[in-house]
Chains A and B, each alone.
Chain A
Amino acid sequence: MTRKALEHSLTCINFDMIINHPLLGPRDSEEFVYLGSADLINRPNWESETAIEDFHEYQYIRENVAGDNVELWYHEQGDQSWLVVTRSTLTHEIKSVELASDYAKNNGRSR
């Protein structure tokens, strides 16, 4: 393999596969299950007048971001915590990782 090709494949692997777990340190993304956008944390109010439309939007309609995506990963083969990972959908580079509970509290939820 030429050096360029080697460097290229190393970047792919580094960017793609390692999630820096806030409690457990760097972990292979294979230990996780991907759920989708972190918007899924914000369940609509079922008592609202517009609940049907709100739940349709919540369940079926997607931002499908091309760029930095804030998303939920579940550490199934680890400590079974939910993480919120900010990751570029264009390069797979992981920008930040936090516990979903911290993320929810920072966004105004009680837990």
Chain B
Amino acid sequence: MNKVHYSGFKVLKEALTGHKGWKPVWRDAEPKSSGYDVVIVGGGGHGLATAYYLAKNHGITNVAVLEKGWIGSGNVGRNTTIIRSNYLLPGNEPFYELSMQLWENLEQDINYNAMVSQRGIMNLIHSDAQRDAFVRRANSMLFAGAGAEYLEQDDIKDRYPFLDMKNPRFPIKGALSQPRGGTVRHDAVAWGYARAASDLGVDIIQNCEVTGFNINNGKCLGVETSRGDIKANRVAVCVAGSSGRVMAKAGIKLPIESHVLQAFVTEGLKPVLDNVITFGAGHFYCSQSDKGGLVFGGDIDSYNTYAQRGNLPVVEDVCSGGMAIMPMIGRARLLRSWGGIMDMSMDGSPFIDRTQVDELYFNGGWCYGGFKATPASGYCYAHLLATDNYHDVATEFKLDRFLRGAMIDEKGVGAQPNLH
């Protein structure tokens, strides 16, 4: 059981005593010279969740999370916070559904308010063919217990009068809805997992960049870092957009390209959009934050990059997608835009696997959909690291699946990462 740090009583007490009693929520640890059972490289959502589930589910607490900057400085703090389990393929859907169930209990589990909001997600449909495809997907979701609903035009129109239902090119003909989908406060996910892991004994070591791997006779014995060498019985890489750069240091090439995804937020508006909405004829998705800003995004920039910023043509593309379904967005002023580096895999699906180097494990290839996967990714990666067996819902995420012809290509676009 976690220590209970937060309660209504505590908030009241602190309010009356000048908020002097709050403490840092996790220990800022130094690397241990004796080494670790497991060293996790990358303090994003997935690395921190992995550490937490290693400690909680498997009792492995001699664990360090090494983060080159500060935790949450990567994609976990940059995404548009959408969670959903509305995938089609059997290799994916049970995994994302496990993630959804873990989200549903996360706050109780780690006693941290991550603002998990199951406000629903609505994928708009613009053609008859698309309706067929989405109904097929809905059936796959129902099989996995994820829940799915089909919304008629009238249901949508009544709820969202600002939608351009009769857009001449992309009329809205219906929608696939997953009422359990929604959003989560992304930073709180990093902080909450960090605190829960730290409480169980995990060392979270920030400003500690992994610069190399200590590999002897095909076995990984530890890592070289900007703060010295650290010994480890097992090393678990989990660096999202930096996957290619980091694994190259172990001499491993991946079926992954790095691309930039941009996101945008408008000035705060009164409540208008009470769920997540996605455009089906272009790439645009949008939700409204609790502060009122419309948070939205679209396609990646389409060329390989490690620079955390994108270009104007995609800004125009994303905004015109928004204008096509909700022209009112044109009246809102854009407050900020930013970018994060995506680990785009060759079939759009992730990896949770061993590598050809003994005791070196890899988690990555999350593309732009890894935030929703955070709990299940940590859960299944911890399972693999602790037991050396793949978790039942993560048996397909292997690195050699292209050689075996067993790709999990949701969109069916092939090995063209900038189109996934």
Residues of A within 8 A of B (CB): 12-13, 16-17, 28-30, 34, 36-37, 52-53, 56, 59-66, 69, 71, 87, 89-92
Contacts and interface: CB of A to CB of B under 8 A. Distances in A.
Nearest to A34: B303
Given A62-B253, A63-B253, A66-B245, A92 B305 contact: yes
Nearest to B245: A66
Nearest to A57: B253
Given A62-B255, A62-B256, 14 more contacts: A12-B309, A13-B312, A17-B313, A29-B311, A36-B304, A52-B403, A59-B346, A60-B402, A61-B254, A62-B244, A64-B253, A64-B254, A66-B306, A90-B307
Q: Which of A52, A53, A59 has the most CB of B within 10 A?
A: A59
A71 B309 contact: no
Interface of B: 243-245, 248, 253-258, 302-307, 309, 311-313, 346, 402-403, 415-418
A62 B254 contact: yes
Contact of A64 (B257, B313, B415): B257
A14 to B, nearest CB: 11
A64 B304 contact: yes
Given A36-B304, A59-B415, A16 B253 contact: no
Contacts of A34: 302-303, 418
Contacts of A12: 309, 311
A60 B305 contact: no
B304 A89 contact: yes
A13 B311 CA distance: 7
B304 A69 contact: yes
A71 B253 contact: no
B2 to A, nearest CB: 39
Q: Which of A13, A17, A30, A53 has the most CB of B within 10 A?
A: A30
A71 B403 CA distance: 24
A89 B253 CA distance: 17
Contact of B307 (A30, A52, A71, A92): A92
9 contacts: A13-B312, A36-B416, A36-B418, A52-B403, A60-B346, A61-B254, A62-B253, A62-B254, A92-B311
Contacts of A30: 313
Given A17-B312, A89-B307, A64 B302 contact: no
A111 B159 CA distance: 60
Q: Which of B243, B248, B311 has the most CB of A within 10 A?
A: B311
B309 to A, nearest CB: 7
Q: Which of A16, A28, A37, A71 has the most CB of B within 10 A?
A: A16
A13 B312 CA distance: 8
Contact of B306 (A13, A16, A28, A89): A89
A66 B244 contact: yes
A89 B256 contact: no
A8 B311 CA distance: 13
A18 B257 CA distance: 22
A96 B20 CA distance: 58
A93 B307 CA distance: 11
Q: Which of A17, A53, A92 has the most CB of B within 10 A?
A: A92
A61 B417 CA distance: 11
Q: Which 6 A-B pairs have the closest CB atoms?
A: A64-B244, A60-B402, A30-B313, A34-B303, A60-B255, A66-B245
A17 B304 CA distance: 14
A92 B306 CA distance: 9
Contacts of A90: 306-307
Contacts of B416: 36
A29 B302 CA distance: 11
Contacts of A37: 304
A61 B312 contact: no
A61 B345 CA distance: 10
A78 to B, nearest CB: 15
A52 B312 CA distance: 40
Nearest to B405: A56
A34 B306 CA distance: 16
Nearest to A62: B257
Contacts of A17: 311-313
Contact of B305 (A28, A62, A63, A89): A89
Nearest to B346: A60
A18 B418 CA distance: 20
A39 B303 CA distance: 15
Nearest to A9: B312
Contacts of A52: 403
A13 B245 CA distance: 26
A72 to B, nearest CB: 10
A27 to B, nearest CB: 13
B50 to A, nearest CB: 23
B257 A60 contact: no
Contacts of B309: 12
